[in-house]
Amino acid sequence: MRVSFIGLGVMGYPMAGHLARAGHDVTVFNRTQARAEQWAKEYGGRPARTPAAAAAESEIVFACVGRDADVREVAVGPDGAFAAMEPGAVFVDHTTAPAGLARALSAQAREKGIGFVDAPVSGGEQGARNGQLTIMCGGAEADYAKAEPVMKVYAKQCRRLGDAGAGQLAKMVNQICIAGIVQGLSEGLSFARAAGLDPQAVVDVISKGAAQSWQMENRHKTMLAGQYDHGFAVEWMRKDLGICLEEARRNGASLPVAALVDQFYTEIENMGGKRWDTSSLFARMERLRTGRE
């Protein structure tokens, strides 16, 4: 299939690579042109100068960019993909963004005779590299059906959860759950140290019971070692939690833990940890426990 991929960051670069390795004809665009050229040298395919140039003649256009404004720019900006896409083509947005933006872009896509699927991902850089992402999708059934087999080359789980915006809402649930789990793990590990226990020995025991989680299995060792460069950055988690809290204000949901953890991440940013991964909540707990600044 002829496809294009817009946005070659730490997630998009390997995701586009999986598409090329699966045999698809891939054109890529990245704001930094040198990175698109580097990708083309590594995987084949073609670099494009604009999102529109990348999207021309593509059956599916994938995007994975940073913020809301970036999504609008690559989709409906002056050189955006929508203007160049042919009727029947589908735009798949892997960016984490508000559900309202997904609904607005879906409506604009329909006016142009093209499809739209909001498809935020979970699994981080490691999941993208290993082709083991979880993808939460919203959009029309026909659009999702066209995109799903292609997305599966870099996904271990891919599911449509409703109309446009449903994927973004599900990603909010994902981030809300992660925030509470990582804070709970951080408190537990810090408590173990304060109590004079061997935290590793404790984890070896409790990870076989009801306390087990992906975060415990994959992050406790680096947390105990004070290493926070193994995953999703604090600044991006704060962006996502901001989206969650804004949506909660609209739908009336109560998110006291998510709001509190967002405040804790603000403290971590003030500690110089904007680019630390989300497990750095433990660094804050250890600072409180030891009294060290």
pLDDT in tens, 59-86: 999 999 999 999 999 999 999 999 999 9
Portion of the chain with pLDDT greater than 70, in percent? 99
- Beta bridge partners of residue 37, listed in sequence order: none
| Chain centroid offset of residue 137 CA | 12
Domain 169-290 has CATH 1.10.357.10: no
pLDDT at 231: 80
pLDDT of residue 292: 64
What CA–CA distance (Å, rounded) separates 230 from 197?
25
Residue type, 157: Q
Supply the residues annotated as catalytic. Answer: 171
pLDDT in tens, 171-180: 999 999 999 9
**Nearest by Cα to 99 from 120, 84, 124:** 120
Average pLDDT for residues 38-49, to the nearest whole number? 97
| Residues in Cβ contact with 80 at an 8 Å cutoff, skipping those fewer than 6 apart | 51, 52, 72, 73, 74
pLDDT tens digits for 123-179?
A: 988 899 999 999 999 999 999 999 999 999 999 999 999 999 999 999 999 999 999
pLDDT digit string, tens, across residues 14-29: 999 999 999 999 999 9
pLDDT of residue 230: 85
Domain spanning 2-162: which CATH class is it, in words?
alpha beta
Average pLDDT value for residue range 50-60:
98
- What pLDDT sits at residue 291? 86
pLDDT tens across 245-263, in order?
999 999 999 999 999 999 9
b/e map of 105-132 (b: 16 or more CB within 10 Å)?
Answer: bbebbeebebbbbbbbbbbbbebbbebe
Please, what is the average pLDDT of the chain?
97
User: What is the distance of C-alpha 41 from the center of its chain?
Assistant: 26
For the chain, what are the domain ranges?
2-162, 169-290
171-230 per-position pLDDT tens digit: 999 999 999 999 999 999 999 999 999 999 999 999 999 999 999 999 999 999 999 998
